[in-house]
Structure 1
Amino acid sequence: MACTKFLLLLFVWLLDQQLGSCSTDPHDVYALRSLSGEWKNGPSSWRHSDDPCGDNWDGVNCSNSRITELKLFNMGIKGTLSNAIGDLTELQRIDFSNNRYLNGQLPPSIGNLKKLKDLILIGCKFSGTIPDELGNLTQLQTLSLNANHFTGRIPASLGRLADLVWLDLANNQLTGSIPTSATEGSGLDQLVRARHFHLNKNQLSGPIPQSLFSSSMNVIHILLDSNNLSGVIPESIGLLQKLEVLRLDRNSLTGPVPPSINNLTGLKVLNLANNKLRGMIPNMTGMHALYNLDLSNNSFDPSEAPSWFSYVLRNLTTLAIEAGELHGEVPETLFSFPNLQEVKLSGNSFSGALNMGTNISKQLKVVNFQNNLLTSVMVSSNYNDRLILVGNPVCSNMHINQTEYCRVPGQDVAFKLSDNVTCSNPYEAKSIFRSPYFSYLNDSIYTPQLRERISNKLGVAQREFSINNYSFDSDEYLQVHMNFCPSGSSSRCFTSKEILMKLDLNSKIDKLPDVFGPFYFMMFDYQCQERGSKTLIIGLVISFSVASLAVVCIASYAIRKKKQAERAINKSNPFASWGSNGEDVGAAPNQQSVRFFSFNELRKCTKNFSNSQVIGTGGYGKVYKGFLPDGQIVAIKRLQKDSLQGGLEFKTEIESLSRVHHKNLIQLCGFCYEKEERILVYEYISNGTLSENLSASKSKLLDWKRRIQIALDSATGLAYLHEHANPPLIHRDIKSTNILLDDNWNAKVADFGLSKFVKDVETGNASSFVKGTWGYLDPEYFRTNQLTAKSDVFSFGVVMLELVTARSPMKAGGHIVGAVEKAVNRYDREFYGLEHVMDKVLVEEGNLIGFKQFVDLALVCTQMSAEERPAMSEVATEIGMIMKNLD
């Protein structure tokens, strides 16, 4: 007690000394205190003094006692941004990016910051309208509000930002038309210095204004993809002589492509896909700088291959004109472009012989002529990469039919790279490249460029970061996952100050190679907890020469530190006691950096495991809804003490899910193993299981398109599991109760308690006991005890039939596969003879595009012999084609 009083008096004395010599303007101190008062957490250094400038508060930079910079990205801030932000009138830079619990409206008082040059709020949860007052920030150069929840119109007042260079409002829910001065007195056409217009992934409507573009503009990137824009492409687009990237895809644009497009001789990327454009395919003659061209899925007039296929586009890496009404022969010279990597011409009517010639680009990796009319093929021995001819008459040739050319292609998911930089507490980030110059990532070309540029421009040594994997998403954005490691010991944590100074990634958004196009960074929550040092206090105690009291305090401190060390050891090796109780199975779980939760933490966030928090039960035990201190909602599965299977399931879930990371697989947030407790903590998925949603009371919420998307999501997750996870896994218990649906009805495969690593199955190290759920169980696996990935395919085929029928697999003693096979009538054009066994919700909906193809695929998946079933990646591709026809 005496020690505590002494330290308290000492702290008060030190605080008085600080206040007497504060070097920060009092108004700024008050404003910061008001800001942080709206937050439930924030930088720890802000709690130790009242002098932000003098004591170097994390994320705060000053000049002449005034705060000029607030750089607090990815700090876990939870709360709102108060009007007090407008009182920091000397601010030049604000970066609150990736604080995903920072929400509410953007306060209008932000318009008072007349000296502000950079406003970066990427990846937060701001909502409401973008305030008109932003138009008062006349010195603003960077405005990044992307990946939030802003609604309403784009303020016309942004046209007053004469110095703006970077405008990014993408990935919000903005509506209405694009404002211009011609109709609103002010508008985006006035931003003549801006080089980046990123308005993609919103709900903007109306035509692209003719007055939006002028020859005085300096814009190099225009991203308007994934909106609801209509009307014609304005002729004025041809005035933008500096334009390098133009994405207008995934809208409802009509009419012909204007001839002025040929004026854009410096254009590197042109994507007009998935619109309603008419007339002739545009003439690309003269556009020698083009790398990536996509004109797919429009309504162009039927034509032969245009002449520019053969000789114009010498820099081209990607040519995509799928469903482009092209016919006739394929010009041989197309494949000789020296940089060509991918040709996508599926869904056309090319006929005759496909002759790729002998002068094939050494970079060419993918040639897709699926669903054309080709009758023969001649491929040089120089080409040994992927050629897709499925759906062509040539595949009826017995010599071609059995080749890879005529097999349904697997879907590219995520690809691991061979970087081996590791540390215990990496800082994870994902870079989203929204219009790269390529659509096939050639590791030997692009990865070294990316590594070198990150190292040089971001000031991070190559030995301190790794590029782990990449994938192209459904929007054709390239997502690259990276880990950054702290310098020095591979086991230490980044400090907050190191993160804010060294990993300021979004301030370098124009510093990477041009071929990667416009991009931004999203950071993952950093879980490593810093430990504060008490050295300063001990030193002060000693300096006051209170020897006897100091000895007591130091002794107390030592005891406390010893206990902390013991707890830290237990935390770093939570399975130190594994096997001591005789109930644990095999060796301790081999987990990959999954968070350890104490039992007390989980008890608190479930209200002492209250029944009011129970959201599910099973043979393992109960599942509770919990709220972590940072606001994250989680699902907490607690093993029952008398469960006979829980120990093995607990171990398998940790070993499996700690190794796989995919948007269609449930995420394991952590675990608890203490006090005889075995608890697993998952991300919370709000809409429950697929089985629940196929029940009579809920199935009306699942229309045909939503069911196809659920099937595609699940198949994509399983394909990743089988082919791209490291190491690959067989799930072994695929069923509708193990497919979860989130707020947006995206599907995630869950429950990995029975999964097996493929290598263990192939080497005979896995148990031979048959596991799974009756009705979904592969009959060949049940008969022979031989588990393969095709066992998951059978189970998934049953789930597909559940999506069609909304029936459980076993009903009145009969199996769903037999019931569907018996009912199929291939002469029934509408419901394939299944009207009496399928879900009535689908019967009432009618016009089910791709229904027969979906049912046939499900029946192929449920063939008795594993050899006759497709691979999971093939299933995902087939479902993806059905989904594409629904859009």
Structure 2
Amino acid sequence: MLYPLFLVVVLFSSSTHSLNQEGLFLLQAKLQLSDPSDSLSTWNHRDPTPCNWTGILCNNLTSSVTSINLPNSNLSGPFPTSLCRLSSLSSLSLPNNNLNSSLPSTISTCTTLRHLNLSQNLLSGQLPSTLSNLPFLQILDLSFNNFSGNIPLTFANFSHFQQLQTLSLVNNLFTGTIPSSLSNISSLKQLHLAYNTFLSESPIPTEFGKLINLETLWLSGCNLVGPIPVSLRKLVNLKNLDLSQNMLNGTIPESVISGLTSIVQIELYQNSFSGELPHIGVSNLTRLERLDASDNDLTGTIPAELCRLKNLGSLNLYNNRLEGSLPESLASSESLYVLLLFNNSLSGNLPTGLGSKSRLQMLDVSFNRFTGEIPGNLCRQGTLQELLMIHNSFSGEIPESLGNCLSLTRVRLGNNNLSGVVPSGLWGLPHVYLLELVENSLSGSISNAISRASNLSVLLISGNRFNGSIPDSIGSLNNLGVFVASRNSLTGRIPSSMVKLNQLGRLVLRDNQFSGEIPHGVGDWKKLNELDLANNRFVGNIPSELGTLPGLNFLDLSGNLLSGEIPMELQNLKLNFFNLSNNQLSGKIPPLYANANFKDSFVGNTGLCRDISELCPNFGEKSKNKNFVWVFRLIFVLAGVVLIVGVAWFYFKFRNFKKTKKGFHLSKWRSFHKIGFSKFEIVKLMSEDNVIGSGSSGKVYKVVLSNGETVAVKKLWGAKKTENGNAGDPEKDGFEVEVETLGNIRHKNIVRLWCCYNNGDSKLLVYEYMPNGSIADFLHSSKKRFLDWSTRLKIAIDAAEGLSYLHHDCVVPIVHRDVKSSNILLDEEFGAKIADFGVAKFVRGVSNGKEEPMSMIAGSYGYIAPEYAYTLRVNEKSDIYSFGVVILELVTGKQPIDQEYGEKDLVKWVSSKLNEEELDQVIDPTLDYSKYKEEINKVLKLGILCTSSLPINRPSMRSVVRMLQEVTSVAKSRSGRFSPYYQEVVSDNDH
């Protein structure tokens, strides 16, 4: 031990003779740190002083070091205590590095510090109580670390010096309560304690009203309960108040708001406030720029004086119970750029001048009761990007001015009473990716100007009075993925140019007057999931190319004039819905469908009658005698049926009473798809020899049916009973949840639920069989080598598309709540599908559409989002965090929880090793990293983004899909950046 130390002493004495004492202290600190990026390469013995070294500032007169600033330098190791020996050091800033271990109590020897910023590191343990001994400290920022325990009570001693102005401890692991003694630090201007897991039932300290110099109070996500203290009205210098994402309740005290005369921003969303918005005193908030009181239980009307505030730029009052009309005074605002009022009960007309004076960017008044015409000045300043007005009662024509609004990206005007012709320019807006006009009374034709809508991805115009043909120019919309135009009066042929739309995933043209043949070339629609052309006048043959579409699972060509034979290639499809009824088809039915289970798919085709018995009725001559005989027979048959049903009912009741252990009661069998197997066959073939899995919810059996098909059958354990005999789980039974969700879902990346059985004691769920098991089965076993990078990337995209469908495309969005690698199953071609919806939740589970608190945490260790563990709120962001963990599993090949990480989990372990030297420890060694380095690094970054500790920083699943698809595209110019999609993180609303 002495010999290496001797060498260091010799080295310093021989090679640093020209360097001053402060330089030696800095070199000593360098020895304590790991510097894989060579950020400290200029720190050497060749200079007489360290004043020219990277990150160092000195006093011009004395050459003493006054500031050390080394952000984003990839430094790791313990806090270098030798820095405290710099006698004039006033600023020490080392944010966004990898400093670890605990913060030593000797930091109190840095007595000259005025500014200490150690945010975004990996520091842990308890905060040293000696920090409050720093007499000149003005700014203390320790946010985004892993500090735990209580905030030291000694922090109140900062009041002795009255220097501390900023205290930021955001996003750590503090427990206990917020010390009321912090109120003694009257010099504080910024107090940031957000996103810490303080004990539940902790109120906002009433003593905070003594912080009269406070300008910002940030207490988001602190597990706070109770009302807002009236004492806060004394904070007359407060500009920013953020109490969001807590469990506060009661009304918003009017005296508090009227007292905050300097307020610029108020955020109160995701609490339980009730009562009305205060109408008295709001006018005192003359500096108010942003008000967010969304996701509460506010009632009453929106105060006119609030809308008259000249500096108000963003008004967010969505998800409340507000009523009445929107004040006309809002039209006079020159600062307004965001207005989000969706999910309320507001009524009346929108102010006619809305948008005429302000640079309005986002307007969302969906799910209200607004009437009258859409104001024509919404885009007068040319800045409107998102216009969402669905589910109201707007009437009249769409303003011509919207057709000239080139800044628009998303337009949703569905479910209103709009009429007249759509402005030609609206069809062709170049930046719009979603145009929704459904369920109105709009007329006219689809304009040829649609060719200019180069970014259009979703076009929804069903339930209107559109006529004419689809313009051939629609074939130039290379990004079009969804086109729904059902229930209109459209005519003509499907343009042949549409076969070039290789991104098309859904085409619904049912209930129109289309004619001609289904165009050839539809085999190029490789991403098509749904094709619905029912109830038109299509003629000719069914294209055999449809049988080559790998993702097609919904095919409805019923109610047309199609003729010829049914292509045998349709047997290649894995269809959830199949209907060719009421056409003029003839010949043989493909053998896969030639059974009674598919009878309804072929009715009304007289040329197919011989293949399925009773497919077509027998219209023989009828006589009065025959009619009489049939009536007589019918009476006897009915009597026999009644007798048999009565006997059967008595038999089953008796058997239930006896509680025998053999067999199942099959009276409560329900199917969700056309199935080619018997329910009795399922029960017969279930045996312990066929068990392929077992978990907390039940056993899973592999059942090979007589027709050669294989299914997976989950038999759920019996529900535990409480003392009173009721099921112990206060949430909905897992069986009911699974049936309620999967029974109605149709997506290629969601596992199919064929049917179910429930008689109270026995519960069975019959799924499609996934031969390759789950991702976890491969990643965490010797089979990992079979998952090369291309396969893993495909799996990630498939799973992301499944989750994106749940979050964004379901009529009521669904949160899975247990996303993990063992719940993502793989088919024979390693296509991924989301499974196990036993704890899933509909986002709008309550009448007012607010997030519903759970009575228990759902999910698995290592996958649960940090905020979900203490808020118990359903939110799609928790799914995104879990999916981010799955991405990290795919990249690293490691499990979410492992002894290798010590006290960390996979997320924190990966985050601690994102430097060039340790990156090879993160990437799965079975991957060809040298070949796919750029792609792997991008996906790794996405995994880290999805697992951000702040929910608001996580992208939406729709953005995740796009970012993963971007990884597979050719020749990126941004070298690993996903900036075009990050913008949706905040603005992408559920509806």
Please classify the TM superposition score into its range, dividing by the shorter chain length.
0.3 to 0.5
TM normalised by structure 1 equals 0.46
Structure of higher CA gyration radius: 2
TM normalised by structure 2 equals 0.42
Query: Which structure has more RCO (C-alpha within 8 Å, separation ≥ 6)?
Result: 1
